[in-house]
Amino acid sequence: MTLLLALVIFGSGCVRDFDEGSHMYITNTELSAHKVASSFIDLNITTYVFHESGVQKSNASLELKVFDRSTGLLKLRKTADVGFIKEGETSSISQSIRLPKEGQYRIESVLYEGNKTKYASEVQLSGLEGLKTDVQEIGIGIDSMDFLVRKVVGNNVVIENDIYLTNAGSNVSEDYKVLVKAREMDARLIADKIWTTTGIIGPEETIVRSVNLTVPDNYNYAIEVIIWKDNTIVKRGEDYVQLDPEKVIDKDKTVGSKDIKTSDFVVEEKPTEIPAYDVPHEGTETPGFGSVFAIVALITAFLTFRRRYI
């Protein structure tokens, strides 16, 4: 994605290059937005260096400095190795930086040969706050999940699912809706699901959200975590619970057919706890399946068994 901003490039010509050595200079600087978050932007900066004439006596390097235009303070500095460039050839140097979206910046590129400054140029950068945030970028990541068995009632097991959420952004996060589902691995039936929220998470903080899922015992489950922004899914995560450890739960492997008792997944209708605002429609509104779905699932499992072993 090319960055369309107010850019002004200035070249200072050869700076402090009084010897008869190489004549190298920066011909162009390109900026592109790699990632646009709600509070920051990741930029790719590509600088082109041309060796016009002369003999390069030392290794070349490129120093990138970013200044806050309102204060004049240096925000960051990065140095990249350029190496030796053949006479008449151009070398491109790519560097990545992260900047807050609010603010105006001056990006200075300084070319060195050894300890000698060969050339300097700068770019004026503004208008970052006008860039549209990436649809899938909310700044929150699903780091991991832990599972605890809280209760066993008859053939049902209450599993506490601890979800670790980290805000990788530089601002406080929004409060997003989260759907947590337990899906049986063989028949792909939903055993239980529940809504919760991420809550407000501070920058670079990790919090734990816990939900209880009630599932039939002696099955293997994929626990799916889906984060919603309005009516759009913006983040997914998945982990596994093995209540039948003799079965292989890798979805890309098959070790045999397993009879699924769909009656185990039919539970009494119960209120679903959801956030106060509207929740997007996500299939069946209550855990478990009715008789029609049970029959379809049995037929599907039977046909799958025949295909595998014919």
Residues 120 and 158 in one domain: no
Q: What is the pLDDT of residue 234?
A: 83
DSSP codes, the chain: -B-----EEEEEEE-S--SSS-EEEEEEEEEEEEEE-SSEEEEEEEEEEEEEES---S-EEEEEEEEETTT--EEEEEEEEEE---TT-EEEEEEEEEEESSS-EEEEEEEEETTEEEEEEEEEE--GGGSPPPTT--SEEEEEEEEEEEEEETTEEEEEEEEEEEE-SSSPPP--EEEEEEEETTT--EEEEEEEE-----TT-EEEEEEEEEEESS-EEEEEEEEEETTEEEEEEEEEEESSTTS---TT---------GGGG-----PPP--SS-----S-SSSS--HHHHHHHHHHHHHHHHHHH-
Residue 3 lies in a domain: no
Residues 161 and 262 in one domain: yes
| Structure confidence by residue, pLDDT tens digits, 153-202 | 888 999 999 999 999 877 788 899 999 999 998 889 999 999 999 999 99
Output the six-digit token pair for 299. Answer: 């037929």
Taking residues 252-269, what's their average pLDDT? 55
Domain with 97, as residue range(s), is 8-130
Residue 15 has pLDDT above 80, yes or no: no
| Structure confidence by residue, pLDDT tens digits, 264-296 | 555 555 555 555 555 444 444 444 444 444 444
Q: What is the pLDDT of residue 264?
A: 58
Instruction: Tell which residue, 216, 190, 189, 222, has the closest CA to residue 297.
Output: 189
Q: What is the pLDDT of residue 172?
A: 87
Residues 256 and 233 in one domain: yes
Residue 28 lies in a domain: yes
Residue 301 has pLDDT above 50, yes or no: no
Residue 2 lies in a domain: no
Position with higher pLDDT, 24 vs 255: 24
Residues 187 and 224 in one domain: yes
Residues 111 and 21 in one domain: yes
Residues 305 and 209 in one domain: yes
Mean pLDDT computed over every residue of the chain: 79
Residue 254 lies in a domain: yes
Q: Number of structural domains, the chain?
A: 2
Residue 135 lies in a domain: no
Q: Which residues contact 230 (CB under 8 A, 6 or more apart)?
A: none
Residues 77 and 167 in one domain: no
Position with higher pLDDT, 21 vs 209: 209
Residues 15 and 73 in one domain: yes
| Structure confidence by residue, pLDDT tens digits, 97-152 | 999 988 899 999 999 999 999 999 999 999 888 887 765 667 788 999 999 988 88
